[in-house]
A and B are shown apart, each in its own frame.
Chain A
């Protein structure tokens, strides 16, 4: 059973727009929530990660928002660029080396 549910499956955004991807989890033991970016033919690359003691983390144009009470977290891509077109995966872990991944979101940024 999938421990992390990710939506939407795909999204299209115009250049300069905001992309938002949402993830939800059930296991309250999870304490590490990374996002990975994967380009076609490449391995997933760690983009940004958050722990439950903060509600938001920003790195450049990428922001994670975390809502512990709702057991949800989201990735916001500000000022989306064509080079951001990729598949994004959320994941969660409870410190046991095991990452549970969401199903992925394919983001297409139109120029």
Chain B
């Protein structure tokens, strides 16, 4: 059974870059899946951020696209999120997840990582 775990700094300064990594166990980022990021601001709903396919192809939320890069490191079985020029509005719990081929939705989620943007 696949397991996902987010890691990264819990505090980022305004105008800085938010960087998170999702480590995959019980599966491989080279499998035919989409690997995704979703966030949830405090007390609010879920927002889809973007995803990366095993081939390296990416899809991004248009509202974040100009600040966003999602990449994968096959040697470490990880995929990562980089969000530039952050503001307090980017404060959220960030989740990584998986979407298998021929499936629409996230069938596996990490436990989430809290990131606060503050000076």
Q: Verify that A and B bind, or say they do not.
A: no
